[in-house]
């Protein structure tokens, strides 16, 4: 998830337009995945969720692929092979929290844009700087999957120090992702 996307989200927060951006379908989908595959422990175990759906995670150096795309930065790829094997390819050069967000984001592509469509031999590449409809939907899904609203509220209310980096650690997300989440939920915090 690129800085451009973050900035765009922040812009929307600033303009109080975020509600129009966030859509119920993406959130419901993420909630369903959590309800079926999550034991309630934080941080959310993404590896287990992938395993449940037969999705293999591959950590790769994506520089050759980026070169093929004029050097445009790529966070990850959701890929279904012609033999119906499912892979999430993650850019291994990214920091851990970004890699985690990528896995959640690619799961979003799988459930929102691929699942049930007999999508063999298909891939969706996530370019860091792009913010089209599908990318936004996958980000909404990822935020709900990694930072379930009810859990964020519960932990936020139980801590006397609502500091973004403290909450970010509990959910194993970047401080900036948590900041966006708190803002979007209307919860004040210290950076």
- Cβ proximity to Zn ion: between 134 and 170 the closer is 134
Contact status: 138 vs Zn ion (CB under 5 A): yes
Number of residues that bind Zn ion (CB under 5 A): 3
The number of CA neighbours under 13 Å toward the Cβ of 27 is 9
Question: Taking contact as CB under 5 A, which single stretch among the options 44-52, 114-122, 131-139, 181-189 is the one that binds Zn ion?
Answer: 131-139
Strand-pair partners of 54: none
Please state the closest distance from residue 76 (CB atom) to Zn ion, in A.
7
The stretch among 13-21, 28-36, 44-52, 120-128 that binds Zn ion (CB under 5 A) is: 120-128
Nearest C-alpha neighbor of 75 from the set 86, 87, 59: 59
Q: Applying CB under 5 A, does 126 fall inside the site for Zn ion?
A: yes
**Other C-beta atoms lying within 10 Å of the C-beta of residue 39:** 8
Cβ neighbours of residue 138 closer than 8 Å, sequence gap 6 or more: 105, 106, 108, 109, 112, 113, 126
Q: Is 99 in the site for Zn ion (CB under 5 A)?
A: no
Residues in contact with Zn ion by the rule CB under 5 A = 126, 135, 138
């Amino acid at each position: 998830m690129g800085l451009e996307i973050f900035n765009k989200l922040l812009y929307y927060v600033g303009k109080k337009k975020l509600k129009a951006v966030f859509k119920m379908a993406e959130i419901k989908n993420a909630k369903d995945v959590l309800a079926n595959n999550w034991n309630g422990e934080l941080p959310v175990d993404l590896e287990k969720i992938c395993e449940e759906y037969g999705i293999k995670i591959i950590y790769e150096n994506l520089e050759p692929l980026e070169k093929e795309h004029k050097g445009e930065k790529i966070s990850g790829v959701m890929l279904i092979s012609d033999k119906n094997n499912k892979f999430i390819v993650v850019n291994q050069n990214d920091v851990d929290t970004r890699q985690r967000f990528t896995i959640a984001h690619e799961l979003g592509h799988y459930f929102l844009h691929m699942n049930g469509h007999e999508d063999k031999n298909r891939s969706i590449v996530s370019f860091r700087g792009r913010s089209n409809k599908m990318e936004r939907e996958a980000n909404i899904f990822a935020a709900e999957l990694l930072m379930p609203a009810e859990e964020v509220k519960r932990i936020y209310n139980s801590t006397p120090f609502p500091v973004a980096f403290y909450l970010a650690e509990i959910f194993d997300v970047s401080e900036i992702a948590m900041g966006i989440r708190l803002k979007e939920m209307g919860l004040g915090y210290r950076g």
